Amino acid sequence: MVVSSLKKKLMGADGDFLLQTNVEIARGGITAIAGPSGSGKTTFLRMISGLTSPDEGLLEVDGEVWFQRETGKKTQLNLKPQQRRVGVVFQGYALFPHMSVLGNLLYASRNSDMAEKLLDMIGLQQLKHVKPPNLSGGQKQRVALARALMQQPRILLLDEPLSALDEGMKALLQDELLRVNSELGVTILIVTHDSSEMYKLCDRVLLFEKGQIVADTSPRKLFVERETTQKFAFKGEILEIRAVDAVYVAVIAIGNNLVEVVIDSDEKENLQAGDIVVVGTKAFNPTVRKFEEQEFDFSRL
C-alpha cells in the first residue's frame, strides 16, 4: 500500500500552484497518472522515487515511512532513492552505451539469475551481449524496463515510456508490462496521455489538473461511462466547410487524423473554419458542436 499525502509548490505557465496528493494506492495494481502537461504528474513520480523532495507531508509504502515533514518544521525523514527500492523508467531510457544489455542489467544488481530471468521474460536473451546503440527503440525500452526490475522494486514508476514507439511495438510492450505485473506482482504507476493504453493496462486512473487529483476512477468510467448521451466525443479543429449537393461537409482534424462529418444547415450557421469543436454521436447520428471552455479537455491527457 502506498500512502501519499504530499505537498510541493510548483511553477506553471499560469503562475505558481500547489501540487497536493492525498491518495492511497493498493499494492500490486497498475495505476495511470494522467492529466494535461504541467499538472504535476512527473513531479509526483519523482517525489515517490526520492529524486524530488516534497515541501511537506507523508509518504508511506507497505507500512514503512519514506518521507515525513510537518508544516514549518525540518524534514524528519527522507530516505535516499537507493533506499526505497523503486524502479524508474523515463522516456530517454538512460542506458549505458558502452555496456552490453547484460552489463546494463548487472550494473543495477549483481544478481545474474535475476538478469537471466528478465532477459527471458522480455525476449532479449539472444541479444544480451549487444550494446544499446545497436538496438531498436523497442529493444532499448525493454532493456530499460528489465534494468528497473533488477532490484525487485516495490514500485515501478514509468513516465510516458512508450510514447515514442510505433503502434505495433507499443502493443507488444504493453503486453510485457501486463506480464511483469502478473508474474512479479510489482505495483506500477505509469504516466500516460494515451486513453487506449490506460484502458488496456490500468485498473485505476488518477487524473491531475493544476496539481490536484480531480478524478480517481477506473478507465472505463472515465472514458466510456461518462455522464453524457454521447457514446464517443473527440475534440478537433474545423479545417474546412464545403457544400456537397444539398448538405454541408466539415473537414475536421482530430489528432493526426482528418475526418469528414456531414452537418446540417443549422449547425453550419454556428460553425466556421478554425473553430474548436467536439465531434460526438447522438441517436446514431454524428454531431458537431463548439467546445465549451468549462469542459474538461480529454485531448490534453
Question: pLDDT by residue (tens digit) across 65-109?
Answer: 999 998 777 768 999 998 998 999 887 778 999 999 999 999 999
**Residue 271, in any domain of the structure:** yes
Is 98 in the same domain as 188? yes
Is 114 in the same domain as 245? no
Domain that holds residue 251: 233-300
Q: How many Cβ atoms are within 10 Å of 283's Cβ, its own excluded?
A: 6
**Residue 125, in any domain of the structure:** yes
**pLDDT confidence of residue 229:** 43
Q: How many Cβ atoms are within 10 Å of 211's Cβ, its own excluded?
A: 24
Of 196, 223, 250, which residue constitutes the final position of a domain? Answer: 223
The one-digit pLDDT tens for each residue of the chain (301 residues) are: 899 999 999 988 778 999 999 999 999 999 999 988 889 999 999 999 999 999 999 999 999 999 999 877 776 899 999 899 899 988 777 899 999 999 999 999 999 999 998 998 888 999 999 999 999 888 888 899 899 988 888 899 999 887 777 777 788 888 888 988 888 889 999 998 888 889 899 999 999 999 999 999 998 888 766 554 444 567 789 999 998 877 899 999 887 778 888 888 878 888 989 888 888 766 556 677 777 655 555 555 5
- How far apart CA 78 and CA 66 sit, in angstroms, is 6
* Cell numbers describing residue 24: 492511497
**pLDDT confidence of residue 6:** 96
Is 61 in the same domain as 181? yes
Is 116 in the same domain as 205? yes
Beta-carbon contacts of residue 86 (< 8 Å; ≥ 6 apart): 48, 49, 50, 153, 154, 155, 156, 157
* Cell numbers describing residue 292: 465549451
For position 171, which CATH number holds? Answer: 3.40.50.300
Q: 543495477: which residue's cell?
A: 108
* Cell numbers describing residue 59: 509518504
Is 240 in the same domain as 206? no
For position 245, which CATH number holds? Answer: 2.40.50.140
Residue 273: CA atoms inside 13 Å, Cβ hemisphere, count?
A: 6
Is 127 in the same domain as 249? no
Is 186 in the same domain as 263? no
Is 170 in the same domain as 145? yes
Is 151 in the same domain as 274? no
**pLDDT confidence of residue 191:** 93
**Residue 228, in any domain of the structure:** no
**Residue 114, in any domain of the structure:** yes
Please name every residue paired with 7 in a beta bridge, in sequence order, or none if there are none.
Answer: 20, 56
* Cell numbers describing residue 13: 505557465
Is 250 in the same domain as 198? no
Structurally, the chain folds into a number of domains equal to: 2
Is 12 in the same domain as 117? yes
Q: 497498475: which residue's cell?
A: 30
**Residue 201, in any domain of the structure:** yes
- How far apart CA 205 and CA 130 sit, in angstroms, is 37
Of 223, 245, 261, which residue constitutes the final position of a domain? Answer: 223
Is 145 in the same domain as 274? no
* Cell numbers describing residue 291: 467546445
**pLDDT confidence of residue 230:** 47
Of 156, 189, 223, which residue constitutes the final position of a domain? Answer: 223
* Cell numbers describing residue 26: 493498493
**pLDDT confidence of residue 300:** 54
| Phi/psi-derived region of residue 177, left when phi > 0, alpha when psi is between -120 and 50, beta in every other case | alpha
Enter the pTM of the model.
0.75
Percentages helix, strand, coil for the chain, rounded to the nearest 5? 30, 35, 35
